[in-house]
């Protein structure tokens, strides 16, 4: 004779809650490339801390300019010195880490002057970093997973056409992922229009250097208000963008204990929660390791 189950409603609720949290579990995205002292790309991926790595940055493009990449102290793309990264990119991808090219950045010379200019930039990116063909691929023959829009100057126009042109290259064999790093005041002044296309897979919102929407001294209200606005957009997943240490930004750093015990539990219930983005690998001296089990 079977005994009567003693499973309590509270226990069942905890199991269901754990499953829901698991469904919305996220990953960590990191920016790599702006400091020669941050270690190799291969080691970054092999750490097991990151799901996506953004190679930063393609700093010159558009408006008839010859595109140029800046990888700080790692290598010089202009003389072919970065083609050796191809094997490291492939190693990252083989271990399940997506590798994106981030275009723009806080400093550089980039500007789109027309829809045709946007299409020309898209063609350049496809041929030189994605699935196209070129005799001068700065990173060798590795095929990156997509393009990250970190647009912080230049123009507010034609980023939607760039996104549309890039997305048109996606196929059943190889998807072109589109990501963006807008500032947290909503809507973003630069890529707000592009995000309305609904083509972006991941959006890591910069919740730093923007006091009006940051976590501050235990007060989450500004951050939560901004988070709720961002999770209303038509995009795949939204990430909480943070500095990896207090030195990585003017403000906006959240101690790991506060992040894992207060902030993440408050935002992980969103169906669009994707995880945490960190700036940058150079400043990540244990922060990602301390939060990854909670992300």
Whose structure tokens read 């003017």?
A: 250
Active site residue 214: no
Write the DSSP symbol of residue 2: P
Our CA dihedral for 241, 147, 228, 51, rounded to 10 degrees, sits at -50
Sorted by sequence, the CB contacts under 8 Å of residue 205 that are 6+ apart come out as 181, 182, 183, 184, 226, 227, 230, 238, 239, 240, 241
Which residues lie across from 54 on neighbouring strands?
Answer: 31, 100
Taking residue 66's Cβ as centre, other Cβ atoms within 10 Å add up to 8
φ/ψ (deg, to 5) at 244: -80, -10
Single out the catalytic residue among 38, 152, 161, 214.
152
- H or E stretch covering 221: helix 221-230
213 and 207 Cβ atoms separated by less than 8 Å: yes
53 and 97 Cβ atoms separated by less than 8 Å: yes
Residues involved in catalysis: 152
């Amino acid at each position: 004779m079977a005994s009567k189950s003693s499973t309590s409603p509270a226990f069942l609720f905890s199991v269901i809650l754990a499953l829901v949290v698991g469904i919305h579990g996220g990953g960590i995205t990191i920016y790599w490339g702006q400091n020669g002292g941050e270690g190799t790309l291969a080691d970054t991926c092999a750490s097991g801390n990151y799901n996506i790595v953004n190679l930063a940055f393609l700093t010159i493009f558009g408006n008839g300019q010859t595109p140029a990449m800046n990888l700080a102290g790692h290598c010089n793309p202009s003389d072919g010195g970065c083609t050796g990264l191809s094997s490291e990119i492939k190693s990252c991808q083989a271990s399940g880490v997506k590798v994106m090219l981030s275009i723009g950045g806080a400093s550089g010379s980039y500007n789109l002057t027309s829809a045709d200019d946007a299409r020309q930039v898209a063609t350049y990116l496809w041929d030189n970093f994605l699935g196209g063909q070129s005799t001068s691929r700065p990173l060798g023959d590795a095929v990156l997973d997509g393009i990250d829009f970190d647009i912080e100057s230049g123009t507010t126009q034609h980023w939607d056409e760039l996104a549309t042109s890039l997305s048109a290259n996606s196929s059943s064999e190889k998807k072109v992922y589109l990501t963006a790093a807008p500032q947290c005041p909503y809507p973003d002044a630069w890529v707000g229009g592009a995000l309305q296309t609904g083509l972006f897979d991941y959006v890591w919102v910069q919740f730093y250097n923007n006091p009006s929407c940051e976590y501050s001294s235990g007060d989450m209200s500004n951050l939560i208000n901004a988070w709720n606005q961002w999770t209303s957009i038509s995009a795949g997943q939204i990430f909480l963008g943070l500095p990896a240490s207090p030195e990585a930004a003017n403000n906006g750093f959240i101690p790991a204990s506060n992040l894992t015990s207060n902030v993440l539990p408050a935002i992980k219930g969103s169906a669009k929660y994707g995880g945490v983005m960190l700036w940058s690998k150079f400043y990540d001296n244990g922060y990602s390791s301390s939060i990854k089990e909670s992300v």
